[in-house]
């Protein structure tokens, strides 16, 4: 099963030191390099044992499939990576029947998405500052950016900011990245020892989980996302990252043709072991992995913000989930991609409930190899958000991962074209997220009631239509955020239009209240009156007769004010008339109705007229008998 492309948090997992010193590809990775379309490792699987299972029962389960443990994970208790010699599907079936096993699944392949190289200069980084310039032959719209230059008035980064980069490797010697590559100060370079006792030898700049060595340096996709996050700023060369000063922790787990879920979990465990609280995950796919989901959930307990690309399939992920972005964890920030004119990129996944916000992701210039390139993708959008998320972790240490996610959603710049694309209906706004001091002060919204008219009078029980429009200088049209209330009854409706027939008799002060995305509130009120209506005149029942399988009931309407009628039915049972139903009939000036539920019994009817909450007297009873 192929996962595809997604973003997740990096975590460290202890492995045997001997394995760390022997950078040889596993049988699964050799198989992947021989078959680019491989969906999962044919020689291993991921198994999670029940907490109650003892070592003997676990050993028995593995013995049944001829399995041997490659890694025992600590991030997800009971999870192991198991090597097998037989068929993976057969092994999973056998393990599913064993009482010691919670689940077993294939070690899925995940992949990144590629891009085309080009040249580089800061004026071409439209995502940071869009003046309407033409980038990569594409003219933009001024202001359609992430407001990064305003955000930098608050913070351009700090040396203590650490962000884990789970990807296909990062060129640690790139002149625009070298100053901001994480260094493991607890490890002594080149001594062949595991100085910090984390199971990895000489892991000075992260780890390569694909090749199994201490050199995570590669020049492609991961180098590009690294440059977006943290290319060295104000150094006179190349491009600038979201965070000019930071520490990028390269955790390579994807090779030239993809990588395995087991290595993604290992990378996440590594980051967790180093107390990293933010990660960029520009990879994913359509198949859910329970071990990966559980690893991300464990990171939430550590307040780790897991920024994930929404995916590049152009699908609504409310309907077609894309993982890990679609896992239901509050520490995951799912990111769609936009163009330089504030529209959703044609390739970007979207979802008003499953995607959190959007960010620039088309013709994005960043580091690539030892040079620079333009790339397209939600991978690029994800990296912009991850850089800001890491800065928020540092600037607001009291915030939980869920708080940071919500702040990114709440401060997004509202874009009408993204109304159905994501929760925030907007694009990353670095200035608002970071609290830029020179960001324009938030203006209060305006709200105007358009109906009903001031002083209008209504009768109790009659449906009343309330309409209003709300606008905000920063957020645009926000009529959908209107809340309606009555001075007598409190809140009774929401949205630009609300219909209510529940207002009781009295003098009401009706208020339309709207709150913009920055919390500013505006209201408008107007008085209306609701009166108890006069009862309509009672109808005269005239005829009850069989009509096919039902019963025809006719009456004389003697009122000109009714809005409907009520028909009361009784059925003869054991010589006694018993209540059998009340039928509401909407519409004025009616003269008859056919009751299809009368059935083959002796029935009788009475009718009365209705206006709002007022009722006429009942007519006399009239009976008929169905054979």
Q: Which residues are catalytic, by number?
A: 167, 221, 379
**Cα-based distances in Å from 381 to 30, 158, 240, 337, 403:** 32, 22, 15, 5, 20
Residue 257: is it exposed, middle or buried by C-beta count within 10 angstroms (0-12/13-18/19+)? Answer: middle
Give ∠ CA 475-401-130 in degrees, rounded to 5: 40
Question: Rounded CA gap, 379 and 174, in Å?
Answer: 20
Nearest to 12 by CA among 251, 182, 221: 251
Q: Which stretches does DSSP call E strand in 400-463?
A: 413-414, 426-427, 446-451, 457-459
Distance, C-alpha 265 to centroid of its chain: 22
Question: Rounded CA gap, 447 and 472, in Å?
Answer: 9
Q: Answer whether 135's CB lies under 8 Å from 114's CB.
A: no
Q: Is 356 helix (H, G, I), strand (E, B) or coil?
A: coil
Question: Rounded CA gap, 25 and 16, in Å?
Answer: 15
Q: Tell me: cis bond preceding 363? Omega within 30 of 0 counts.
A: no
Pinpoint the alpha helices (H) of 119-277. 148-151, 221-230, 261-273
The torsion angles phi and psi of 594, rounded to 5 degrees, stand at: -105, 120
The residues, ordered by sequence, that sit 6+ positions from 34 with a Cβ below 8 Å of its Cβ are none
How many H helices and E strands in the chain?
11, 37
């Amino acid at each position: 099963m192929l996962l595809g492309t997604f973003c997740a948090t990096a975590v460290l997992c202890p492995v045997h030191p001997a394995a760390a010193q022997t950078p040889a590809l596993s049988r699964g990775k050799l198989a992947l390099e021989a078959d680019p379309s491989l969906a999962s490792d044919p020689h291993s699987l991921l198994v999670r044992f029940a907490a109650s299972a003892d070592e003997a029962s676990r050993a028995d389960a593995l013995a049944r499939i001829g399995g041997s443990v490659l890694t025992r994970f600590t991030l997800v208790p009971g999870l192991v990576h198991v090597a097998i010699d037989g068929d993976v599907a057969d092994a999973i079936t056998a393990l599913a029947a064993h009482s010691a096993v919670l689940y077993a699944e294939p070690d899925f392949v995940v992949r990144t998405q590629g891009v085309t190289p080009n040249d580089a200069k800061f004026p071409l980084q439209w995502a940071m500052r869009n003046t309407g310039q033409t980038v990569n032959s594409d003219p933009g719209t001024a202001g359609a950016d992430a407001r990064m230059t305003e955000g930098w008035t608050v913070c351009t980064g700090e040396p203590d900011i650490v962000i884990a980069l789970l990807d296909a490797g990062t060129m640690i010697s790139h002149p625009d990245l070298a100053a901001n590559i994480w260094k493991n100060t607890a490890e002594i370079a080149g001594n062949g020892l595991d100085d910090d006792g984390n199971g990895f030898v000489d892991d000075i700049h992260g780890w390569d989980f694909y090749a199994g060595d201490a050199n995570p340096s590669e020049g492609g996709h991961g180098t590009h996302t690294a440059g977006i996050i943290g290319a060295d700023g104000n150094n006179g060369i190349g491009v600038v990252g979201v965070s000019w000063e930071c520490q990028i922790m390269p955790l390579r787990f994807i090779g030239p043709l993809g990588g395995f879920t087991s290595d993604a979990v290992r990378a996440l465990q590594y980051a967790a072991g180093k107390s990293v609280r933010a990660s960029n995950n520009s990879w994913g796919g359509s198949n859910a992995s329970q071990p990966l989901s559980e690893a991300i959930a464990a990171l939430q307990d550590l307040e780790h913000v897991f920024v994930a690309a929404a995916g590049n399939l152009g699908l609504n992920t409310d309907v077609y989930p894309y993982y890990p972005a679609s896992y239901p964890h509050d520490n995951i920030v799912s990111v769609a991609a936009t163009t330089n004119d504030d529209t959703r990129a044609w390739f970007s996944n979207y979802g008003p409930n499953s995607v959190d916000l959007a960010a620039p992701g088309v013709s994005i210039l960043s580091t690539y190899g030892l040079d620079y390139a333009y790339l397209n993708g939600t991978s690029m959008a994800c990296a912009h958000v991850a850089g800001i998320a890491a800065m928020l972790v540092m600037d607001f240490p009291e915030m939980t991962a869920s708080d940071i996610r919500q702040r990114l959603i709440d401060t997004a710049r509202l874009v009408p074209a993204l109304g159905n694309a994501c929760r925030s209906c907007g694009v990353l706004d670095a200035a608002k997220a970071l609290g830029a001091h020179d960001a324009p002060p938030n203006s209060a919204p305006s709200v105007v009631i358009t109906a009903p008219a001031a002083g209008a009078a209504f009768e109790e029980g009659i449906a009343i239509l309330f309409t209003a429009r709300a606008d905000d200088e920063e957020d645009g049209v926000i009529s959908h955020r209107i809340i309606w209330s009555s001075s007598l009854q409190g809140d009774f409706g929401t949205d630009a239009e609300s219909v209510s027939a529940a207002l009781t008799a009295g003098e009401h002060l009706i208020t339309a209240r709207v709150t913009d995305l920055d919390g500013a509130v505006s209201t408008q009120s107007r008085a209306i009156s609701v009166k108890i209506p006069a009862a309509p005149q009672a109808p005269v029942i005239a005829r009850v007769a069989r009509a096919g399988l039902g019963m025809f009931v006719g009456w004389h309407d003697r009122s000109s004010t009714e809005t409907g009628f009520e028909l009361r039915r009784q059925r003869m049972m054991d010589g006694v008339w018993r209540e059998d139903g009340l039928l509401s009939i909407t519409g004025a000036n009616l003269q008859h109705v056919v009751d299809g539920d009368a059935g083959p019994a002796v029935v009788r009817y009475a009718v009365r007229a209705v206006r709002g909450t007022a009722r006429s007297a009942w007519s006399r009873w009239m009976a008929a008998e169905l054979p």
